[in-house]
Amino acid sequence: LIDVRKTKSAKAVDLFLQIKPKSDFELGWALRALARGIEPDPSVEQKTGIEIEVLRDLMERMKSSKFGAILFGMGVTMTRGKHLNSEAVLALARDMNRHGRWVAKPMRGHGNVTGADNVVTWSTGYPFGVNLGRGYPRFNPGEFTTTDLLARGEADAALIIASDPMSNFCQAARDHMRKIPMVVLDPKLSETAKVAAVAFTTATYGINVPGTVYRMDDIPLPLRPAFESPYKSDLEILTAILQGIRRRQLGN
């Protein structure tokens, strides 16, 4: 496990490396060098906070694997570097295929993130970073992606559904979120829900209400509820909000 802080997951892993914040790219490139048999620049130790000897030991473990998986989260994709960090991870996975079978997959948070990506893709033709402000979809990562809009201070309100950006987005985005009204729909009390103007506790799909979720490998799974919940589903709440907006538009 590689992270900027010691999380609960750190207790369950064989090796935990606590790196300095904003050093994901440097670490990824150093591991790429080791994967290709190239000695990393000594400055890597100062930038990442990890000794090269420790990285060398990690790489030897990785090379000895027959099938390896690199699972990366929003700490990599939503902080400084963003797509460059992702490029470093994907390039590392490609380099590791010289030594064995390796894959890289983004870790999905709660709330059926892969399902949302699939729906946006077949609805608009784009997987994320879609702007519908002109009545048709426009795709431009870095301009229309959520963390960038918030970091630039462009959004004056936010509707957050089954996500916790206050725990994952960059500092500039989090600071702006505290300044604007937010509505949050989530089955649990998240850090984002704590600072929201309005927070709805919702039923959980697949546990309290029926629905279809997508696995991380994009396989749809229809789920039936195990027991009822006193809370409404996301669909019911969003439908009620939409109906209220339309009534106001019609002046009723």
What's the pLDDT at 224? 92
39, 104, 216 from 100: Cα distances, Å: 21, 13, 22
**Is the Cα dihedral 12, 108, 197, 177 positive or negative?**
positive
What's the pLDDT at 83? 80
Query: In the chain, which residues fall in CATH 3.40.50.740?
Result: 113-250
CB 1 within 8 A of CB 15: yes
pLDDT digits (tens, 9 = 90+) for 206-237: 899 998 888 888 899 999 999 999 999 999 99
More confident call, 124 vs 116? 124
Query: In the chain, which residues fall in CATH 3.40.228.10?
Result: 2-106
What's the pLDDT at 252? 63
Q: What is the mean pLDDT of residues 80-104?
A: 91
pLDDT digits (tens, 9 = 90+) for 21-48: 889 999 999 999 999 999 999 999 999 9
Select from 201, 169, 144, 163 the least CA-distant residue to 178.
169
Q: Which residues contact 98 (CB under 8 A, 6 or more apart)?
A: 35
CB atoms within 10 A of CB 216: 12
Average of per-residue pLDDT values in the chain:
92
pLDDT over 80 at 109, yes or no: no
Domain 2-106: CATH class, spelled out: alpha beta
Phi (first) and psi of residue 19, to 5 degrees: -95, 165
Give the integer Cα–Cα distance in Å for 237 and 97: 46
**Which of 3.50.50.60, 3.40.50.740, 3.30.420.40, 2.30.30.40 is the CATH number of 113-250?**
3.40.50.740
CB atoms within 10 A of CB 138: 14
Band the pLDDT of 73: cuts 50, 70, 90.
confident
- Half-sphere exposure of residue 192: CA atoms within 13 angstroms, side-chain side: 27
Residue 148's H or E segment, with its range, is: helix 146-151
* pTM assigned to the model: 0.72
What's the pLDDT at 107? 82
What's the pLDDT at 66? 94
Burial tier of 67 (Cβ tally within 10 Å: 0-12, 13-18, 19+): exposed
Q: What is the DSSP string of 206-220?
A: TTTB-EEEE-TTS-E
